[in-house]
Chains A and B, each alone.
Chain A
Amino acid sequence: MNSNIAANIRTQRLASLIPMLSQMIPDHAILSEPEQLKAYECDAFTTMRQMPLLTVLPDTIEQVQHVMRCCHALDIPVVARGAGTGLTAGSMPVENGVLLGMNKFDKIHDIDLHNRSAWIDPGVRNQAVSDATAPYNLYFAPDPSSQLACSVGGNVAENAGGVHCLKYGLTVHNILELDVITIEGERITIGGQALDAAGYDLLALMTGSEGLLGIIVGIRVKLLAKPASARVLLAAFATIEDAGNAIAEIIGAGIIPAGLEMIDQKGIQAIEALMHAGYPVNAAAVVICELDGSVKEVEDELNSVLTILHRLNASDIQISTNEAESKRIWAARKAAFPALACLAPDNYVMDGTIPRRALAQVWTKINLLADEYQLLVVNVFHAGDGNMHPSILFDSSDEDQHKRATELGTRILELCVQVGGTISGEHGIGLEKINQMCLQFTNNEISQFHALKSAFDSKALLNPGKQIPTLARCTEFHSMHIHNGEMPFPHLERF
């Protein structure tokens, strides 16, 4: 937008909005100084930034309702944000819009032991739920890698997963009820304490909707009993094919591991250099497999998995015998991304998911593409779910490298879609991957998404411009894409 026009809009909006907000929101909860707003200009996808018009930090549901009513009345966009750990610019502010920080909603209100559930605020950290319920031998299963910091409201907005969702499901499988404030400021309850609710399954629809349909102000999470025993096993393979076959055979044998991960050689070497965890640096790939259940069950499954691994020529097999050893193996895996930061200044982490059967094929093809674009790509991923995280390493200060990295990312996601997969397994779309939505969905499908969005938010004020691209944007993306992938204006942050 022309900067003069934007500045005028900003002035007008501030003049009308602040007095209106102040009727119910204390001054200290309305941030308007540039130095205050700076902290809110991006999420964990830091290459995209936008200063908000205002940041509002409500601490009651009534205040959230008031913010929504004000913004609805004045046609001002609203972007909700939790801990800001999202990886796709999903909670990046929009120009001249309000940033609604939900951090003050950080209480666990009720732990219902009989029904194995807890009623919590959206700003509660993921790990805090499991910590609070651990004394009762219960935990909250979704475990995104950022679980120490990320908020459960954000988990719901993104339908976050993690290592354990192969066996225990994503966020959508582990919540029972939501309190949501609509753009008009109305409070609605979706789902309930029972296992289902009357009418459409709006709980599934809200989960993963990236803040485009409503503001989550309360969540009833499902709690699971902690398994009695868990063992982690790490095995090295000389070929990617054998590692891929091991994944397929473990699942095909009727075993659902609590976690099933795979790392390629470059990933192993980067992790080992940082963590010194005893990973076999000469292997083409390692597979990490966690088995949980009763002690005897885990022993039986461990034996079955070992038989498969030996048959597929696995070597350097390490098996944890206690929690500390399990933690050592996992800590190294979870440090994969910091480890990659030692290799290059920038890391474009992809989040494509593919059917497991295509694993070796896609992996091989990614390596060929990496050669073609002359960039280093490291693969670390949730193999059990087929959720790949190829990391494209580059230096964003080099325009040509940046351009090649962006194009390569698109080619990789195209490949995922071609084999029956998806462009995002757990990170969401946000703004970062909005163009790639055009790879996966037809114009009719995108139109249906818009119609659905309109049912919730007819003025398109909730997190506008994210997740669902306009048809014009798709046309532009496709035409650029067809004409040999040359991106005009490479200095711009991908549109």
Chain B
Amino acid sequence: MKSDSFDFTAALQKALADPQIGGNFRGALDGLRGKRLALFNDAEELASLRATGKALKARVLSRLPELLTQLEANCEKNGIRVHWAETTEQANRIVLSILRECGADMVVKGKSMVSEEMGLNRFLEQNGVEPVETDLGEFIIQLAVEPPSHITAPALHKNKLQVAEIFHRCVPGAPYTENVEELNAIARTTLREKFRTAKAGLSGVNFAIAETGTLVLVENEGNGRMCTHVPPVHIALMGLEKVVEKLDDLPPLMRLLTGSATGQLLSTYVNAITSPRAEGELDGPREVHLVILDNGRSTMFADPELSGALRCLRCGACLNNCPVYVRVGGHAYGSVYPGPIGAVITPQLEGIDNKGDLAGASSLCGACEEVCPVKIPLAGHLRRIRAEGQAAPGEGCVRGAGAKRSLVERLAWTAWAYTETHPRLREYLLRAAALMGDKLPEVGPLKTWTAARTAPRVAPKSLRQRVREEGIRHE
């Protein structure tokens, strides 16, 4: 997605003005939040599970290059072809060339955020290949020609009536119905034909196990499995942070992923793909390809602080619990990854100059960190990106560092620091403000503040004055 002209303020205002967004998101997210809480009702167990999750992923990061090499070797040994892509452009080209080789002019797709990050669908369309989204949520928004609004629930912004309308309008021959069973049946009939005829299927990867060369996919609909098992060619896409050490690491990570995402103990389908169809086997693809995407991740990896974000399991819990996300929805962020984790990684993937504003979309309340299964310090990361945005030339290592540098703001904070380190001056200014009473000029921050609130009144006597006058011991 191109972002140069992205106006975050306008996007937020538009989202806040749309009653449907508020309604659809709050309703759906309350449900997800509740299910998560119900599953993780034992605080102690959850704490130890999260500590395990964090430790496992942190260990992966401590030996990432080595594990990726091991993953590649074991995949190749199993007959899975591994491709490396530094940029999304390269990844797109790799996918296209595999599709061309097998003569596919249509590809069935399971859910994959990395493919969104790559802008794969548009690229394929421009190159004469039809991508067909088969995850129900993705199917809906593909018909509506919209990007996903949530990491795990892409069509979260649509309610049943909207889906009914989209199906009727976009699926040839589909009657108008608000019956969920019938809506499901429409999607199923449409997709079955695609599964049957597709020459290639595409999927994401939740965990890639280095020790065994296994690709693990978690899903609830079974359509993902149709994509990976029915067509003769399967292409799996992953960001390089998805590698884990061994099979034994899977149970806790899986529990954290599904529990945090949807409050499920386990998802309905867990696919472990270790090789293409072997001699004598009756099903499965003849070819399996794994595309490993960097796209800025190795830069994140090089930063000892921000690399924490690479622990992310993409469970979406931070979105579900974010008071900003719940009100504005995913589209307002103008990026593939919305919500707290999006505000942390998007400025890193697309540059602070392009997407640095996203880091401001948080009151730093910490609700995201509280639920993150791998304990990513999201608020701390947001703070760091804000500081990188203000960095002086030569400082800062995130791409576009210093892009938000504002002289006015810098001067204001420096003046503030001066006042705060000169208590007498501070007291004098406070007294002056108190004397103005409600005649304080409403400019700058005070003007913004009073758009939605009454102005705070500076007390006639400050606490410090009263301490002196009313006999509190001071020093």
Judge: A and B partners, yes or no.
Answer: no
